[in-house]
Amino acid sequence: MAEENPKEENPGEEGPLRVLKWDLGLFEQITRGFRFPSEWDARYPGQNQTTTDAPPRYITLFEDFFLQGNFRLPATNFMAHILQYYGFHISHMSPPGMVRVRHFEFLCRAHDIEPTVEKFRVFYQLIGNMGFYSFGNRGAAKKILLNPPKSFHDWKQKFFFIREEEMPIAMIFRAPDMIEKEE
């Protein structure tokens, strides 16, 4: 388990990095509990690795996608359409964004409605914060997620790597200023 030192020096531009806030045991519980096949080759990051250090042909996913956002692999077509429409990589989505996407999809499917980006956009708009993206309520649209989770404590430090072919979706890595936010 990571020691309780809150910060670790990083010579990069971002400033000090926080020490990983989860341990190998929880990572293994996730891979077993969500039945990750060995061929997915899910990898727990090394102590000095960041989300941008995914090995070649791997992507970064966050623990809270699964535990709080009900994300599952293989990803649904709706998730693929969301990522393609907004033009960002799943590793740039925040857990609150994942919660909103999956909740919307569950509501649609529960009512035998095919979820689409166009329907999603009636309720939500893209918002960004420090290089990560989420979805906020759109103007006067009725709220459909009445009690979203209040906190995702240390979610940026709870990540792992998985083979990119397990998400066969055309995703684009873009600088945050290249993604158009909705007004």
For residue 98, tell me if it sits in a domain: yes
For residue 23, tell me if it sits in a domain: no
The 3-state DSSP class for residue 43 equals strand
Closest CA to 95 of 179, 154, 176, 28: 154
How does residue 140 score in pLDDT terms, banded at 50, 70 and 90? confident
For residue 7, tell me if it sits in a domain: no
Mean pLDDT of the chain: 83
Quote the pTM value. 0.80
Query: What is residue 180's predicted lDDT score, i.e. its pLDDT?
Result: 61
Which domain, by its residues, includes 168?
A: 38-178
CA-to-CA distance for 61 and 90, rounded, in angstroms? 7
How does residue 139 score in pLDDT terms, banded at 50, 70 and 90? confident
Q: Which two tokens stand for residue 118?
A: 């166009």
Overall number of domains in the chain = 1
For residue 60, tell me if it sits in a domain: yes
Closest CA to 4 of 164, 157, 166, 123: 157
The 3-state DSSP class for residue 125 equals strand
In this predicted model, what pLDDT tens digit does every residue of 2-59 receive, in sequence order? 333 333 333 333 444 445 668 899 999 999 999 999 999 999 998 889 888 999 999 9
How does residue 169 score in pLDDT terms, banded at 50, 70 and 90? confident
